[in-house]
Amino acid sequence: MRFSLHTLRVYMACILQGHRIGVEYYDSSIRQLNELEVWEDMTSDFPMIDLVKYQAKPLVIYTSTKSEEPFLAASERSDRTSEEAPTVKLVKSSLFSYEQAWHRNEKTEDTHCNFSY
């Protein structure tokens, strides 16, 4: 079985609520969803976001339109190992919920998992 280039994609979503950061990323090449939640002391530049971006290499990062500027900047910056930073897409805050993210990931899986045998 061979994978088309469209299957080698990672999509990430992240949100900051108070001191909690929630991150989820979906790797369509292996159809795996990863989630984590961390407590951020707000004294740094969100190193966990950088670590996940370095590990997952997302093409697209979804975040809320209500994201604060430092958090948005952390989402937008390059991990310094890739040629370019991921595309950050702002999602209307009323739509940025766990249920909506789950449905969006299911839709992404259906759209981008084109196998060629």
- Tens of pLDDT, residue by residue over 19-66, are 889 999 999 888 899 999 999 887 778 999 999 999 999 999 999 999
**pLDDT for 85:** 83
Establish if 20 belongs to a structural domain: yes
**pLDDT for 106:** 64
**pLDDT for 1:** 40
**pLDDT for 59:** 92
| CA triple 88-94-96, angle to 5 deg | 45
User: Tell me, what CATH number does 77's domain have?
Assistant: 3.30.420.110
Establish if 117 belongs to a structural domain: no
Establish if 14 belongs to a structural domain: yes
Give how many domains the chain has, as a whole number. Answer: 1
Residue 56 contacts residue 10 (beta carbons within 8 Å) = yes
Establish if 116 belongs to a structural domain: no
Burial class (CB in 10 A: 0-12, 13-18, 19+), 111: exposed
* Model pLDDT for residues 69-110, shown as the tens digit of each residue: 999 999 998 877 777 788 999 998 877 765 665 666 666 555
**pLDDT for 105:** 61
pTM as predicted? 0.74
Establish if 92 belongs to a structural domain: yes
In which domain, by residue range, is 60 found?
Answer: 2-111
Establish if 43 belongs to a structural domain: yes
Establish if 63 belongs to a structural domain: yes
| CA-to-CA dists, residue 39 to 4, 15, 46, angstroms | 38, 12, 10
pLDDT score of 4 more than 70: no
